[in-house]
Structure 1
Amino acid sequence: MPTNSTSEPTKDELKAAKKLLKAQEKMMLEAERARERVTKAALEVEREAGRTRMSGHERREQLINVARHLFAEKGYEAVSVEEIAQWASVSKPVIYEHFGSKDGLYAVILDRETRELLDTVTSNLKPGHPRTMLEQAVYAFFTYIDEHPDGYRVLLKDAPAAKGAGAYSGLVNDIVDKCETVLADAFGRFGLPRKSAGIYARTLVGSVALTGQWWEEERHISKEEITAQVVNFVWNGLTDLKANPTLTTNKKTI
């Protein structure tokens, strides 16, 4: 009679696993507290700035900065106009004067961050070897996350459908379209079916986007390292593409 080759974990292994889990939970808690301290410090800076006289443009930028910090930390629904006004050291009518409503302010932030991310990625795509272009695009994406953490969190957080829900998914789709165009051109040159470009574009962009969400929270490896790891994975997959891939097992058994 066959024996089960899988053995139960020992007490020492279970103990080590629990210890590791506790350490990870502690690190996540400390990271969250650090983020809260940074957000509060940034808001305090904006509050101090709000007490000085500003031009209309300066005031508008200050309100955007304050609201972006708050939306990133709490989400759209949890932030009120009163809270934004309090942190900006202004009255509520000032916010209405510039943006009309909280919805209007949120829409401005979404539009700005969407354009910032797209511009960051596309402006770094210089003509060259496909691997170089891939590295440029991935590095630019992680650069945006690194330099605009509040903006990236705003893009990721949920919002009412009429106020921009799906902004991030819509942005990802825009990047997919651009990626599909690049891949279709490359596939044509290398004898691969151009119609498959859409599948690979979604696989590529989707994997990078999910990795970006994970890295935004973790940050225990450098931007350079995570870019190198992602490019290593993606490029080695792309360079061995088959024109007509098939399953290695009987489809009925999957």
Structure 2
Amino acid sequence: MTSLQRREQLIEIGRALFAAKGFEAVSVEEIAAHAKVSKPIVYEHFGGKEGLYAVIVDREMRALTSVLEAALDDPTVNPRQIVERTALALLTYIEENAEGFQVLVRDSPSTDPSGSFSSLLGDIAVRVEDILSETFKRQKLSVKGVPYYAQMLVGMTVFTGQYWADRPKVSKEQLAAYIVDLAWHGLSRLDSKPQLLFEGVKARKEAERRAKRGIDAETPVPDGEASSPLKQTDLDHTLREDSGLQNVSSGKQVAQHSAEPEAEVLRFEQETEQND
């Protein structure tokens, strides 16, 4: 076995052990024993298990970054296609690189935070944030919540992928459909000014107002009844124009977006100030 072949052998063995047991539970002795070599060989190639682990993580990070960036590379395509493509890209990586994915999500030494899995997710979230910002601006939505929406989308997809990696009871296409269904319908029905209905200061004030009027505080506020009604943003309107999709899940026609969205937001803010 050449030096390069030996190095690749140690990487494969290390990846399998780190995936199964985590960084802390694996020793140089165990790596050498599985490779049927002496410990000095491991030290010669990587300087210890830390060096071996760093090489494995770097490879997996580059592979995963590549597939996710490729999925997000063309923001001009249909927005739903971007969501579908990204979800499938991650699930395909998990399916084809199960050990590498486990290494990334398992416990790891905190010697290089910039090269951690969380830093990768942060970078991907920034890319998603850029895409969402452009869409929100076109729809006259406030971009204040965009960084959080981006984190939600990335986190939802990644943690669902982790769960699926251990319980692959559905195909990756079906799981991607589940993820996209939840994410897409959530994005397409965003409120311009989302608020809590039952908890929080504003919700309690609304409950007090309704109690004075003799209305059950536990009953959700119907559209148009609240003293500070929200205008539902029809983000789905433009998305349907691009994709030809129709929102038929509720059996009701989605309200048309206001011809003057900025004036609508201004009216909402004025009414809120008066009521508060």
2:33 is aligned with 1:101: no
Counterpart CA distance in 2 for 1:126 and 1:164 is 25
Show the counterpart of 1:147.
96
Pick aligned residue for 1:82 from 17, 20, 29: 29
Number of matched residues?
Answer: 201
2:69 is aligned with 1:122: yes
Show the counterpart of 1:235.
184
In the superposition, relative to structure 1, how do residues 146 and 168 fare at CA in structure 2: closer, same or farther (>3 Å)? same
SS state of the match for residue 248, structure 1?
coil
Q: Are the counterparts in 2 of residues 184 and 195 from structure 1 also a CA contact under 8 Å?
A: no
Q: How does 1:168-207 map to 2 (within 5 A)?
A: 168-207=117-156
The TM-score normalised by the length of structure 1 is 0.74
Pick aligned residue for 1:71 from 13, 18, 21: 18
Deviation at 1:250, TM superposition (A): 5.8
Q: Are the counterparts in 2 of residues 120 and 140 from structure 1 also a CA contact under 8 Å?
A: yes
Counterpart CA distance in 1 for 2:14 and 2:162 is 21
Q: RMSD of the TM alignment (CA)?
A: 1.9
Counterpart CA distance in 2 for 1:185 and 1:68 is 40
SS state of the match for residue 161, structure 1?
coil
Counterpart CA distance in 2 for 1:70 and 1:228 is 32
Counterpart CA distance in 2 for 1:94 and 1:190 is 60
Percent of pairs with identical residues: 44
Show the counterpart of 1:28.
none
Show the counterpart of 1:224.
173
Q: Are the counterparts in 1 of residues 104 and 117 from structure 2 also a CA contact under 8 Å?
A: yes
Gaps of 5+ in 2: 205-276
Q: Are the counterparts in 1 of residues 10 and 35 from structure 2 also a CA contact under 8 Å?
A: yes
Deviation at 1:125, TM superposition (A): 2.9
Q: Are the counterparts in 1 of residues 72 and 127 from structure 2 also a CA contact under 8 Å?
A: no
Q: Are the counterparts in 2 of residues 107 and 164 from structure 1 also a CA contact under 8 Å?
A: no
Q: Are the counterparts in 1 of residues 15 and 56 from structure 2 also a CA contact under 8 Å?
A: yes
More helix by share: 1
In the superposition, relative to structure 1, how do residues 164 and 251 fare at CA in structure 2: closer, same or farther (>3 Å)? closer
Q: Are the counterparts in 2 of residues 139 and 223 from structure 1 also a CA contact under 8 Å?
A: yes
Structure with max Cα Rg: 2
Counterpart CA distance in 2 for 1:102 and 1:196 is 42
Deviation at 1:166, TM superposition (A): 8.4
Pick aligned residue for 2:6 from 34, 59, 79: 59
Counterpart CA distance in 2 for 1:164 and 1:63 is 24
Structure 1: 4+ residue segments shifted above 4 A = 163-166
State the one-letter code of the partner of 2:52: L
Counterpart CA distance in 2 for 1:119 and 1:217 is 24
2:88 is aligned with 1:161: no
Deviations 1:19-77 (A, max 9, x none): xxxxxxxxxxxxxxxxxxxxxxxxxxxxxxxxxx23x3222211111100000011111
SS state of the match for residue 202, structure 1?
helix
State the one-letter code of the partner of 2:148: I
